[in-house]
Amino acid sequence: MEHRGFVYTGHPARVLFGFGTTDRLPEEVARLGASRALILSTPHQEGQAAHLASLLGSASAGIFAEAVMHTPVDVSERATECASKLSADVIVSVGGGSTTGLGKAIALRTDLPQIVLPTTYAGSEMTPILGETQNGIKTTQTTARVLPEVVIYDVDQTMELPVGLSGTSGINAIAHAVEALYARDGNPVISALALEAVKALATSLPKIAQDPRDRDARFDALYGAWLCGMCLGAVGMSLHHKLCHTLGGSFDLPHSETHTVILPHALAYNAAAIPEVMASLTTVLGQDPARALQDLARTIHAPTGLSEIGMPEDGLDRATELALKNSYWNPRPLQPEAIRGLLQRAFEGALPLADGRETA
């Protein structure tokens, strides 16, 4: 594809995409009629937040650099109190899913507008979905109240993303597209975007692993992540996302790594029920999709087993129980024994199986 920046205005989100688009933050704040921006980040990315504050000058009201994984309710409440004390009239989030989630949590409580500058490939900036964690349980809700008004995709913001996180964040994004392909409320437009997204990321992630400074590959990866986010925001998700939310919220596993490990196994679980989707993915990935996604993880040196990312084996039974606690749609019926087997294979980093057989 041609590597040229562009501006896309949708409803209700406005998207700026290209190189160097961060410099347009002040005009986007002004366009919203705002003058007191609260800038959010993780502790690790506070330097990036400070850069945005200097860019905004007098329009910066302050920085809250306490965003963490899985959006704990107590952090959300502290951040909301901070926004109130500073009389903030817009939230600016810089970072990945953790920071975006915190911005959404504030918006849920205050209805403040949001501007998001993603630095990973998480995709949550394009969705009206918020997941918050309290007492070890992650609860997800969908409401237009948390959808960001403006998203500024700046490829330059991703150039320093570590290779490991680039890979797992990218496969996390692929998971959104894969589940969109067999969503109950899926449609041809989203399916077309999903296949384009999977192709863009599956092609670019190995290039980034070899050369993190490859600007064309970084462009393609962020482009793919944007499309994946659109998929996630437009249709419902199924077993894969439920398992990942359960494992992340209840066992405090790292978000993108969990998605990376689970995706091949969840896809294999559903394979027999979605033959057309599997055929479409095969044309994009070049081989059995579940095996291809696990091979992709290995190619970029990402984890392939839950045991590698802190999951206790004695928690697998509880994870199965939690994943089945509330009913949700999935193309294949939710079978406790089969899901327990899925989690065991994912724990061990074994090959993905469909109906007890290897997928290739």
SS3 of residue 139 by DSSP: strand
pLDDT beyond 50 at 10 = no
Q: Domain boundary at 93, 128, 158, which? A: 158
User: How far is Cα 108 from Cα 328, in angstroms, rounded to an integer?
Assistant: 24
> 132 near 110, Cβ under 8 Å?
no
CATH code of the domain covering residue 243? 1.20.1090.10
Amino acid letter, residue 157: Q
**Residue 60 maps to a domain:** yes
> 278 near 271, Cβ under 8 Å?
yes
Shared domain for 179 and 323, answered yes or no, is: yes
* C-beta neighbour count of 315 within 10 angstroms: 17
pLDDT beyond 70 at 359 = no
pLDDT beyond 60 at 2 = no
Q: Which helix (H) or strand (E) holds 222?
A: helix 215-234
**Residue 353 maps to a domain:** yes
What pLDDT, on the 0 to 100 scale, is given for residue 355?
60
User: How far is Cα 148 from Cα 144, in angstroms, rounded to an integer?
Assistant: 9
* DSSP assigned state of 290: H
Which residues, 6 or more positions from 347, have their beta carbon under 8 angstroms from its beta carbon? Answer: 305, 306, 307, 311, 313, 316
CATH code of the domain covering residue 116? 3.40.50.1970
If pLDDT is split at 50, 70 and 90, which confidence band does 13 have?
Answer: confident
Q: What is the pLDDT of residues 208-260, one digit of tens each?
A: 999 999 999 999 999 999 999 999 988 889 999 999 999 998 999 999 999 99
Q: What is the pLDDT of residues 84-120, one digit of tens each?
A: 999 999 999 999 999 999 999 999 999 999 999 999 9
Q: Is the peptide bond before 206 cis (omega within 30 degrees of 0)?
A: no
> 41 near 94, Cβ under 8 Å?
yes
Q: pLDDT averaged over the chain?
A: 94
